[in-house]
Structure 1
Amino acid sequence: MIQHGCVDMLIVATDNPFESLVSQDILHATPHEIYIFSLAELYELSMGKVASIHAENTWPIVLTFYTQLSLGYRCWHWLLDMCFALLGSCLLILVLPMIATLICLDSPGPIFYWQERVGHRGRLFRILKFRSMRVDAEQCGASWATPMDLRVTRVGRILRALHLDELPQVINILRGEMSLIGPRPERLSFVLPLEQALPLFQYRLAIKPGLTGWAQVKAPYASSLPESAIKLQHDLYYIKHQSFTLDICILFKTIIEIFWCSGR
């Protein structure tokens, strides 16, 4: 059927879920132009996430996609970070008096909230946010944030809905600890068990964590292991397919989320 031009698309099932190169024998067997995809590639194109997060021995191959990023794209990513950090810093200065006043009037405690997170290549850094929870929110230890979390203050709920609680992270971007786009920086107390349960979780650290990202705009907040696994699939997809077009798509979706007040 291929020889007679009856096939427009060929899907190839391989043992390697990350394999993107189709056998040369198949390519030579196609006398006319057809679309050839591996099963994993088709899954990624249709779902926007990698097909598997369990084939640990194959993922280092995929990291070559990241190391081969063009100089032009790397410059674009750096300029995007710097432009946003500078503009965000100006916005932070403008809204700081109002937000600081509201936080102080709503609940006792500091205006800002420092928290240790795991960053690029496992380096720890302190993330800066506007305080949106009570000061005694973690008396019983770290826990996942949940919908309608009772620890969140009234002003904090508004800040989270508009993602304004994350605005001070422009300082982390200026310091080179974060990027505008990348995987969400997680707490060490969450990272250790997630790395044990999800072998590929460590590969999120191949790039800097981001203020927004593909996983953040494609999947809801993770409050369980299964939800974290889905977000991991999206994070690894971004690492594998980083591009100018994908970054623009993420920024567009982020703006829509802000207008829809989807934060929590």
Structure 2
Amino acid sequence: MNKNLQAAKYVFFDWFSALLTWTLFYLYRKVNEDPHIFQHWNAIFDDRKFWLGIIFIPLFWLMLYVMAGSYRRIYRKARLKELGQTFITVLIGVIFLFFVLILDDQVHDYRDYYESFVVLFSLQFGITYFFRLILTTRTVRKVHRGEIGFNTIIIGSNGNAENIYHSIINQEISSGNKFVGFVNVHDRKNFKMSRHLPYLGNYRELNRIVQEKEVEEVIIAIERSEKDTIQRIIIELEEANVIIKVIPMLQDIMFGTVKVDNVFHTPLIEISPDLMPAWQQYLKRIIDIFASSMVLIFLSPLYLFTAIGVKLSSPGPVLFRQERIGFHGKPFYMYKFRSMYVDAEKDGPQLSSKDDPRITPFGKVIRKYRLDEIPQFFTVLKGQMSLVGPRPERQYYIDQIMEKAPHYRLLLKVKPGITSWGQVKYGYASTIDEMVERLKYDLLYLENMSLSMDFKIMIYTVLIILQGRGK
């Protein structure tokens, strides 16, 4: 199962489709202008726009498809999903090309615009989906025949695990699960699953097992008496890029959380490792870069004012540097305008409070209006932070938070942010308990992560800054 080769096939045919579409569309436009164009081919091949389009238009489409996530999980594509994704992506791309390249063309009347739009969309969508349909159909059939499989482990060792195992291997059409073993939750003398699959270890060893066995899918099939461990299991899998599926209880079916893509497959609740669609992830990064650049340019006088104020308020450097833990647990340095006296933590790490004597008079002002945070836009440009995301903490405090709330590890799945839902609701936390309380809002953000949620949080942050309600 060569994923790179399969992805390369999609890339090549998408490139070829864009090339063919542009050529046909260009000829269509030329024929509209001059019905006798085929009598003098040189007019086409001598046109610089034709060759520029041949080079750059396919590259534009490939970039758009990458942003849409078209080449991710290449063996898990479904034909109907492919149809919808291709339709939406092509529609967005054609609208962009139409307004950038075509709208300034000379036309006889506005019907030419509408006809051109329909022709360009029909060609691009029809040719692209034709090749994608062939590739996806061949892949789906190989999965259904069991020729392509995904290394899968079952978490569970008794009745539920055994039932789900039999249900999956006896499916009329294969779902592609290639079972490599099972993992237990509670230790017992005998495991029913040992009659069917090799025992791989305890769920606390999941990260090691996933890496060693190259696992792509995990099915949680624990007993009712083991339900208290499901949160810990998901936390253990936080760093693993795997699809998690859970056997549903009756209440899950009643609340509509059980979704299936194929009527022949066993119904399971799927927990995808992707918190946001790929196109939103790329767009989020573009927004981070654009907004940070604009802030750094237009707020440069404010930077200068704040820097002078910090320098005059107390002896010491203008900027304060501190190590924080970021995406996937990687440390990075976060910069702020210094709002405390030098050696504020000479007795060890301390959280700030409302009437903290370590804060300078000018520091209270810039904290109130969050001006101390603005150097972090440089960190956003570097890609270590985002505009919106859970606030990064020091390892010293993470260790303490984890003792009370081990699910804090889930926050490391995303880049930390300058502002967050927890920051908007809580501001600066002054105790570990407040950090834990703020954590629930950041977890809610992960569950509802989207560009619209980011915009809401940014709007509320701006209102807090303008009203001086920062703390």
TM-score, reference length from structure 2: 0.43
Relative to structure 2, which stretch is displaced further, 109-118 or 211-220? Answer: 211-220
Task: Confirm whether residue 260 of structure 1 aligns to residue 467 of structure 2.
Answer: yes
Indicate the structure (1 or 2) with the bigger Cα radius of gyration.
2
3-state DSSP of counterpart to 1:254: helix
8 A contact 1:22–1:37 mirrored in 2: no
8 A contact 1:162–1:258 mirrored in 2: yes
Shift of 1:184: 0.3
Shift of 1:261: 1.0
Q: Note closer, same or farther for the CA distance 1:68–1:134 as it changes in structure 2 (3 Å cut).
A: closer
Aligned residues: CA RMSD:
2.6
Relative to structure 2, which stretch is displaced further, 169-178 or 229-238? Answer: 229-238
CA distance in 2 between counterparts of 1:129 and 1:110 reads: 11
- Aligned pair partner of 1:243 in 450, 462, 465: 450
Q: Note closer, same or farther for the CA distance 1:220–1:173 as it changes in structure 2 (3 Å cut).
A: closer
Shift of 1:98: 1.8
Task: Confirm whether residue 229 of structure 1 aligns to residue 436 of structure 2.
Answer: yes
Look up the equivalent residue of 2:442 and give its one-letter code: D
Shift of 1:124: 0.5
Shift of 1:230: 1.6
Shift of 1:65: 4.7
- Aligned pair partner of 1:70 in 277, 283, 296: 277
Shift of 1:214: 1.1
Q: Note closer, same or farther for the CA distance 1:161–1:24 as it changes in structure 2 (3 Å cut).
A: closer
Structure 1: state its 5+ residue gaps. 1-13, 28-35, 39-60
CA distance in 1 between counterparts of 2:372 and 2:406 reads: 31
Look up the equivalent residue of 1:193 and give its one-letter code: Q
Shift of 1:260: 1.7
- Which residue in 1 is equivalent to 2:320? 113
CA distance in 2 between counterparts of 1:26 and 1:255 reads: 41
Look up the equivalent residue of 2:460 and give its one-letter code: K
CA distance in 2 between counterparts of 1:25 and 1:159 reads: 48
8 A contact 2:325–2:332 mirrored in 1: yes
8 A contact 2:306–2:371 mirrored in 1: no
8 A contact 2:326–2:415 mirrored in 1: yes
CA deviations over 1:74-131 (Å, ceiling 9, x no partner): 1221122111210121145322322222111110100011110011111000001101
CA distance in 2 between counterparts of 1:187 and 1:24 reads: 40
3-state DSSP of counterpart to 2:375: helix
By relative contact order (CA 8 Å, sep 6+), the higher-ranking structure is 1
- Which residue in 1 is equivalent to 2:416? 209
3-state DSSP of counterpart to 1:67: coil
3-state DSSP of counterpart to 2:469: coil
- Aligned pair partner of 1:79 in 275, 281, 286: 286
3-state DSSP of counterpart to 1:229: helix
- Which residue in 1 is equivalent to 2:377? 170
CA deviations over 1:28-67 (Å, ceiling 9, x no partner): xxxxxxxx478xxxxxxxxxxxxxxxxxxxxxx99x4551
CA distance in 1 between counterparts of 2:419 and 2:379 reads: 13
- Aligned pair partner of 2:311 in 96, 104, 126: 104
Q: Note closer, same or farther for the CA distance 1:225–1:37 as it changes in structure 2 (3 Å cut).
A: farther
Alignment of 1:1-264 (within 5 A): 23=250, 27=254, 36=255, 64-65=271-272, 67=274, 69-264=276-471
Look up the equivalent residue of 1:107 and give its one-letter code: S
Look up the equivalent residue of 1:156 and give its one-letter code: G
CA distance in 2 between counterparts of 1:172 and 1:127 reads: 7
Q: Note closer, same or farther for the CA distance 1:65–1:239 as it changes in structure 2 (3 Å cut).
A: farther
Identity %: 33
Q: Note closer, same or farther for the CA distance 1:66–1:258 as it changes in structure 2 (3 Å cut).
A: farther
Shift of 1:22: 7.2
8 A contact 1:66–1:239 mirrored in 2: no
Structure 2: state its 5+ residue gaps. 1-223, 232-245, 258-268
8 A contact 2:404–2:436 mirrored in 1: no
Look up the equivalent residue of 1:202 and give its one-letter code: R
CA distance in 1 between counterparts of 2:299 and 2:342 reads: 22
Q: Note closer, same or farther for the CA distance 1:163–1:65 as it changes in structure 2 (3 Å cut).
A: farther
Shift of 1:245: 2.0
Look up the equivalent residue of 2:374 and give its one-letter code: L
- Which residue in 2 is equivalent to 1:33? none
8 A contact 1:129–1:169 mirrored in 2: yes
CA distance in 1 between counterparts of 2:253 and 2:411 reads: 33
TM-score, reference length from structure 1: 0.75
CA deviations over 1:194-226 (Å, ceiling 9, x no partner): 112211111111100000011111224322232
CA distance in 1 between counterparts of 2:275 and 2:373 reads: 31
Q: Note closer, same or farther for the CA distance 1:101–1:179 as it changes in structure 2 (3 Å cut).
A: same
8 A contact 2:321–2:335 mirrored in 1: yes
Matched residues, number? 220
CA distance in 2 between counterparts of 1:232 and 1:79 reads: 27
8 A contact 2:275–2:446 mirrored in 1: no
Answer 1 or 2: which has greater helix percent.
2
